[in-house]
Amino acid sequence: MEIGIQDKELGSIESFQSKTVVGTISSKALKFLGPELDAMKDVADAYSKRSLKLFETALQDFKAQLDEEPIVHRHLSSLYDTLLEQNLCRLVL
């Protein structure tokens, strides 16, 4: 998957539009079939479900696809931090 598309989709997830990511990916799926597509779907799904466990599983399962580019890695780190913060807030409140 092109880095520009990964960056755009991760930006959509960060702006709490993770449910639209799957639709966007599906519409472009014919051009970008492969593990990169599956990685983005799993990350979006984990984020929309607010599941750290699913997020960590996606990161582990698709390590090769998600750790290649520094920009993608930075987005994923930011998503993880936000997800962790949200989960901690739910526990405290």
7 or 38: whose pLDDT is higher? Answer: 38
Total-model pTM: 0.70
Q: Tell me the pLDDT band of 71, cut-offs 50, 70 and 90.
A: confident
Structure tokens that stand for 59 in this block:
């990161």
User: Helix H segments across 15-92?
Assistant: 18-27, 35-48, 52-61, 63-66, 70-92
* Residue ranges making up the domain that contains 46: 3-92
From the list 50, 53, 63, 66, the residue with the least C-alpha distance to 16 is 50
The answer on pLDDT for 63 being more than 70 is yes
Judged against a pLDDT cut of 90, whether residue 65 lies above it is answered with: no
Residue with tokens 């409140």: 93
Question: How far, CA to CA in Å, does 41 sit from each of 8, 18, 48, 83?
Answer: 13, 9, 10, 16
Domains in the chain, number: 1
> If pLDDT is split at 50, 70 and 90, which confidence band does 30 have?
very low
Instruction: State the pLDDT at residue 56.
Output: 95
